[in-house]
Amino acid sequence: MPRYEYECDHCKEVIQIFHSMDESIDSCPDCGSADIKKSFKTPIAFFARKERDRKAGELVEEFIQESKEELKNEKREVDKNR
């Protein structure tokens, strides 16, 4: 399933959720506000189709590295808030 990002206009949180293409959420899981919108970033499955000149392994490695960086940043944020 693709990962989608939603941004809440009320609490300004950015939420990443995995769901099928025909699903969406209608309220923020953090604050409950209905002022939430889907960010229109390209899911990795569609990105891979555009990059036919690159090998699949390169795309996977790039995605893994980006995910590791995101995880490190999130861990730093959690440590700051403790």
The domain locations on the chain are 1-41, 53-82
pLDDT digits (tens, 9 = 90+) for 21-80: 788 788 888 898 888 888 765 455 555 455 566 777 887 888 899 999 888 988 888 888
Q: What is the pTM of this model?
A: 0.45
pLDDT of residue 42: 47
Fold of the domain spanning 1-41: Rubrerythrin, domain 2 (2.20.28)
Cα distance between residue 65 and residue 8, in whole Å: 27
Indicate the length of the chain as a whole number: 82
